[in-house]
Structure 1
């Protein structure tokens, strides 16, 4: 029996040595993976594009954005927006206005949260420069140039890279003529 126990002791020591070194090597590999983390793979790009054309009406909008996915539940990023609106002879708003033209451009900060994969909560702080030109029927032109701040809080249903939902502008001002309503439906797509 003594002979058996002396032969088995080196075997256990050898196994213990290899297990300890293997665990150490695995831990070092995990540490190296964390150090060599690919920063670029968590970026998502997307945005929106809008086009509205009608009788005497043109509305063109482009809004690219980039998000960084911090974890499966939270991402944040920035966006740009530019739009052009031109409306002719739409007297049902203001009888004396013959033409309305607007250039709107600016940026936004975006935060998205997905508490579950299908539900997306959003907050977007938007700062836009608005340059409106009104041409009246008597050919007089007036300009209204100002900054507009919007804070949108939204909720949407997500399926893959696409989210469909509604957002609410808590800073909405009807007199600014930037948005027609405080509520806005949206479709977001990020890849």
Structure 2
């Protein structure tokens, strides 16, 4: 079958329209992708503690998405290694969902659900090693200046027998860039 000249022009025109449409959609997708990353901030925490026969190190990166100037939502990971010489070693791996709300620029309210896997190995053979999951649900408030917030949070699910924290109240310093 031979294409007539006007059919060929229609085919070229249709191809050009489709190509233009796809490039426009692609350009919009690129704009949306770059716009997304403009609202993402990264932060987290580092911890290091040493003492008489005790060592502890924590790394907890996180990322949040700013929906607007008041509300942010994000995810975090955490890992902790703890060792007390001749007593026990512990590894804690976890993740969290973080929500931040700023009713005014200087005040930040937070909610954070955290789930941690704890593995404890005791040096005393009379104590059984164990592994278990432990949740925490923190509500907190802090004073915010630029990208730093200093405050206190409370674990609503605190269990003194299973929690990885010393008590339900915990001060914090939160930094996001």
- The TM tier, using the shorter chain, reads 0.7 to 0.9
Among 74, 78, 81, the alignment partner of 2:71 is 74
Counterpart of 1:58 in structure 2 is 55
Q: Using structure 2 for the length normalisation, give the TM-score.
A: 0.79
The answer for unaligned runs of 5 or more in structure 1 is 1-32, 89-97
Counterpart of 1:169 in structure 2 is 155
Contact (CA 8 Å) 1:85, 1:102: kept in 2 or not? Answer: yes
1:41 aligns with 2:27: no
Equivalent residues, number: 148
Q: What SS is found at the alignment partner of 1:148? A: strand
Distance between the aligned counterparts of 2:164 and 2:74, measured in 1?
23
Counterpart of 1:26 in structure 2 is none
Contact (CA 8 Å) 1:79, 1:109: kept in 2 or not? Answer: yes
Structure 1 stretches of at least 4 aligned residues deviating more than 3 Å after TM superposition: none
Distance between the aligned counterparts of 2:76 and 2:36, measured in 1?
19
Counterpart of 1:87 in structure 2 is 84
The answer for unaligned runs of 5 or more in structure 2 is 1-27
1:133-152 equivalences in 2 (<5 Å): 133-136=121-124, 139-140=125-126, 142-152=128-138
